[in-house]
Each structure stands twice: as structure tokens, then as C-alpha cells.
A and B are shown apart, each in its own frame.
Chain A
Amino acid sequence: MDARRSDGARSADVGAQVSHIMKDQGQQSLDPITLQVQWSRLASIMDEVDVALVRTAFSTIVGETRDFAVIMLDREGRSVVQSQLSSPAFTCSLPSATRKMLAEFPAATLRPGDALITNDPWICHGHLPDFFVVVPIFVGGELAAFVATAAHISDIGGRLDEFDARDVYEEGLRIPPSKLYRAGRPNRQLFDIIESNVRYPRLVLGDVDAIVGAAGVGGTRLREFAGDYGTHAVTLVAAAIRDLSEAAMREAIGVIPDSVYEHEIDCDGYRNPTHLKARVEVTGDAIKVDYDGSSPERSDASVNCVLNVTHAHTLYALKCALVPELPNNEGLFRPISTVAPPGSIVNARFPAPVKTRSKTSYHIHNAIYGALAPVLPRQVQAGSGSFWSIKCDGTDDDGQPYAVHVLPNGGRGAVQGMDGGPTVAFPGNGTITPAEILENSAPIVVLERSLRPDSAGAGTWRGGCGQVIRLATRGGASVRMTIRPDKLRFPAPGIAGGGPGAPGELLLNGGPLALEPFVLRSGEVVTLKLPGGGGFGDPRRRDPASLCSDVASGIVSAGAAAEIYGAAGPAEKPPKDAA
């Protein structure tokens, strides 16, 4: 299983390559030790920024669910380092977004205390609630770097439903690249516009302030860094980091035989299912992923994905498979290109509706891993149940509006040699809001949160279990809810002969529930059955002891054990050679 990790010999080769790269650039002062020390220090600066943001953020979506990323970019807007816990997809779209903002506000015109903002889906991360804020950092009066933050904020106005917008205008406020702060002074007009257009201005503006404040911490630390290592140290380290990372990625790609690897999958979409087709073309040390053949963009469902989001998810899937241990930065991305026909669901054109693009983007890795499974079976993962979204809002006993956002997950896909974990976020990385916190934030009673038996995709290594959540209201209260499920029709796919996870189910009082906002009234129960992860490999080759243990714990029913796994019966041990 660990064959993908590097061995000593390979490291030594790369070592030679390193000194080569460094000499090429005439940067003899950046030996492997200096570079390591400075790189690690830059990374710790971003961890400090991360800490500052988490501790001052207002919304649970930033403070607790951690749906954000903070990264450092060089003065050209190329990414250098990120905080360790940054949400991965954001880190891929922040650099290009920063450069687009700089096209509007050239670097040479920026001043200390400026902060840029936009949430344009075609610049940022594909839907309006993702705010991107870029703060230039000056050292001794000279632009040295940027600290950029992407964060999912609590509300952006627009329709409450998740899917029914016909264009992006219906989805809320769109802020073009703008100056949020000018030389330390807030752009009052812009703040007012935001305040007037979002439902929870306290949370939204509280988070925006926290983002700018945290970036300031990064600025202070970067100036200390420059004080220790020189004004241009960031630029030098950034270049070295990118070149080394690029070389490592190229080496990992170079191992894959040149060919075109293809895979097609279907996912729920909204009114119509979405078809995704990935054509992974490996040529030498580069990869091109072409999504030609995928569904056209939809005008009746907010499930469209802009190209920079498609690219971000392509990069993420490939990084996890090829160089999981390397720190993330733009060097890794250079050898990878993403192509999709304009007007397709993975390259939506303005002003297509995009609010719920994760219904598309969160499936992209499955198409890629399906394509690479035959050639890299030890580096890919079966499909995951992934997250659903539950939004509750209303007015609390004090007459104050409340909004709670809960993001529960299904089971994770299996990999070769390991079962998928139960209820784990993938490809996102959010935490579940505890029932006790939820009940303290809204008039809700959580009746159940448990593992969902027989939801795990069968396999030599099975998928992770999904979960069952049942919600009611407290006392006589009513709560407005918007639930966004996924994989109700098309489950998380298995891989290499593994079975799919169980599809999800969404029920109100035991009956079907339409996918639009509704009011949960006193006495009613909404039930969410989240999908399981896909399995890896032929279920009939599963280790009998693991199967027995699954049956004993109730994760796999005796019926499924016999039918799908071919166990002779729960009491009887399968023959030894079954494994």
C-alpha cells in the first residue's frame, strides 16, 4: 500500500535535481537547508493567519466548519504556501483569481492598507457565497507578497432555494473586483451595499473584518521574515518552491505510461442527471484532462460549474493521487491542464446559474479516479458519499434572526488495502455541527444520528457507511429548512470491481420530499439517509474475518453478506481462500 511513497534512492536522485535547479537560477544561497527553514517559516506564518481568522470569525461556517483557505502568493500572484488546514479546492482557485483581480487593480497601483474583494463566480470559486479577499503586503514600501483568503460566507442574498435560479442574477449579490479597503480606510459604500443585500449582515461583515484582520497578522510576520532574510527572500523562496514542486509532480506523472485514459460517470444533477466524461491524456511528464462529452450547461438548475472550479477539482484529485505528501503550491499545477467545451456543465458561461455547483464539481474526482484506476490502482479511491447541506433559519425567542448551516457527510470511498471511513468529508473537509450545538442554535431536536447499515459499497475493501439523521422541531416551533442532498439517484461508484455505496434518501414524515425550502412544523420529522462510499475490488474476495466483524456489528446485514459477499451464512465461516 505504501509503494507510492518515495524510497531513499529516488530521494537521492531528486536531491541531485534540486542542486541542479538551484544552480540554474544562480541561487546558491538557497541550499536545501536554507530553503527548508524559510519555507517552513512561511508555512507557519500562514498557520498563524489561519488561527487568527478562526478565532475572530463570526459565522460557524468559517469558525467551526472551516470552509475557507488562507494562502500566501508572491508579488506576481502565484501561490507559495497555505495554512495546513486550508480547504483544498480554494487553494487551487485563489491564485488565478488573485491575478484576475490584479488585472483590474495593477500591483503597481496598490498601497499599504489596501484590500481587494470579489465574489464573481467566474473569477473566484464558482458561486456567489465564496468571498475572495486579497491583501497586498508591503515590506519597506515595496510590494512583497499577497495574503489571499477564500471563505464561504453565511449569505449572499438571492433566492433561498438551492437549484431553481435561472441565472446568476437570481442567486444574489455579485461584487466585481473592488477595493474593500483603501489605504486602511474601509470602502463604506461597498460595506453598505453588502449590508443591504445579505440576510445576516452581522455574520457576513464580521467574517469579512476577521479576514482582513487575519491578513494583517500575515503582513506583520512577513515583514519580520523579510527583516531576517532580506526584502526579496519571499520571491526567491517562492521561485524555488515552485520549481521543486513542479519537478516532483512531473516525475510522478512521468511514471504513468503515455496514453489516454477515459471514464464516464453519471450524477444526480437536478431536473436532469449530469453526465461527466473525463479524458486523461498523459504525455511524458504532463497531463491534460479534457471533459468534452460532458453534459451541456443547464439553464434550469444551479448545478453549473465554471472552468476554474473544474480545474481546481482536477488538480486536487491528481495531487491526492500523485504527490499527496508534498506541500501544495502552484508549482504542482504547472504540468496539468484542464480543458472543457465552453457551454458545457463543467465550463459554464456567464450568466448561467451556479449556486449549487458542488452537485457537479464534487463528482469530478470520480471521473478521474475511474479513468486512472486501471493504471494506478494503488493511488485512487472509490466514490464518497460526500456532504449534504442543511440550512435552518427563522426567528428565535428573542426576535433575532438565526441561521444555522449543518454539513453532514456520507461514507468515504474505499482504497486498495483499506476500507473507507464512515461519515468523512471528501473532497471537501467540513466538520459536523454537534447535535447539542445545533439544538442550542435553533429550535430543533435531533432525534437520531447513526451509522446507516448496508450503506457501504461492497468490495474486497468496502466503502464507509453513510449516516441517518432525523430532525424535528422543539416545542411548537416551526423552522424553515433548505436541504440539499446528493447521490439520491446515482450512488457513489465503486472501483476495480467494488460495488457502489447505497444511494441517499430524503423523507418527510416517511414520504418523499421535494428539493425546495420547506417549513418543518411541530410534530413532523425529516429523515436524511446519507449515501455510503463505494467499495474497492471484488466483494467475494473480502477477508472473511472483516466480513464477520461487519455482520456482528450490524454494519452489513446477514442477507447482504450472503448475497453480495457470497458468505455461506452468518454462522458459518467462509472458506479461507476467499481472501
Chain B
Amino acid sequence: MANKTYAAVMANKTYHDGAVSGARRVVDAALIVLLTALCLVWIYPVILILSNSLKLETAISTATVFALPTSETFVGLANYVHGVTKMNFLASFGYSVVITLTSVALIILCCSMCAWYITRVNILASKLMYLLCAFSMVVPFQMVMFTLAKTADTLKLNTPFNICIIYLGFGAGLAVFMFTGFMKSVPLAIEEAAMIDGCNPLQIFFKVVFPILKPTAISTAILETMWVWNDYLLPTLVLDIKKYRTIPMAIQYFRGSYGRVEMGPMMACIMITVIPIIILYLACQKYIIEGVVAGAVKG
């Protein structure tokens, strides 16, 4: 009894409470119907884009957007082919992947090392670094966007390969904060034992500490990936939009620059952006949801 979880008690109430049970079962059935309807509303926007991405260009207008493709208006994957070639979408996809992977890898590696250092070495600089990281999480991007873009230009960080340094700097706040939050609960004894066995600090970190940090690393990686992959403003200001376009940049760019936007290819590109996210989400849902909860509790 003592360790009954909330969910167990709630479930128990539902099915075994005698007199209440009948009424509750009706309520539950009604709720399931309601939730199912709500879920359909929830995914409807994506379905709408999908249906329009399969339609003939001339059949798409604000008045007919809700009509499903018919045999006359159905064009199969033509919009997808056109969108991908015209917007050079594969290149954008590539840039987004490269930037996200390098940035997140760099953030996880550097920030976990930094967090270990500032929890284990008790000097003023460590405390200062921690406070600044916490502070940086609240500062809105607009505060630094202009000067950051100028700094990036001066230091030649304006390519898809170097931009990860800026992401490391701006993403460090959250990552260091999360890693130190976890590090504080890791006992010193194991590391001391490793030291007595003759490990140097680098070996201690990679052989002993990092494996312990793995759950936090996964949570942090998920939060940082969600941020970098979807980020629009930072790459827009730092990268040369004529040469390098990430996915959010490409979508905004093609909407703004062409007088009449071709809706079909545009929606096809949106689908190409959304589908991998959905697949990835369904595949590692457990980690993503755990990551969000862990991040929220620390933050």
C-alpha cells in the first residue's frame, strides 16, 4: 500500500470503486471519444498540408485549400520533385544536418567536460562560469543578435562548419547547467579510486565520469537538437543566405523572394521537413519525452 503510485491509485478508482465505477466508466468512455476527436484536430494541420502537396498548382487557393485531391487535381509526387530541385532543398537538408550534428556533438563534449571541471575544482572562476551560464539562459537572443553577427563575420565563423562554435557558445548555458545539476549528485569516491589507480584527469573523465553522465547527455542532446535544427534567426544573420541555406531559412527565403509563391512545391518541402521529424520522434519517443521532463526540472 505504502508505495502505490498515483497512476495505480487512479486506475484502481476507475475500475474497482463499486458504486462509483458505473458512472466512472461512462465518463471514461466519453473522455476517450473526446480525446480521439481532439487528436484528429491536432494532426489535421499536417494532414491538410499533405493533401495540398499532392494537388495541381492551379487547384490550390485559399478557397479550395480544404478540398481533398480528386482524380483531376491529383499530381502524385510532381510537387515534391519540383520543390526539391527548384529550392535546392537537398543542399539545405544537408546543411541543416551538418550544422545540427556538429553543434550538438561539440556542445555535449565540451560542456560535459566544462561542467565536470567547475563542479570538481572549487575556485572563483568555476562559480562565475556557472552563474554566467545560468544567466545566459534568460537573455533573449535579440539582445546579442546584432553584435554576435558582427563578431561571427570578423572571426570568419560564417560557414556551416564554423557556425558550431557559435552554437557552442550560445548553447553552453543550458548544457552546462544540466550537466552540473547532475554532477553534484555523483559521488567523488569512484573518481578518487581511479586516480589512485593511476588515471590522469582525461582518463578519469572519459573512462569513469562520461559513462555516468550518459542519461543527462542524451536529454541535453535532444533539447539542443530541437533548438539547433529549428533555429531560424541565428543562421540567417550569420550565414550568407545566397550561399548556404538551412531548412528554416530556405522556407522563409522562398516565401519572401518570389512574387507569387508556388504553393504546391512549397507544401511538398514542408512535408519533407516534417516527415523525418515525425519518424525520428516515433522512433525515440521515450528519450525525447524523458529529455523534456529532465530539462524542465533542471531549468
A associates with B: no
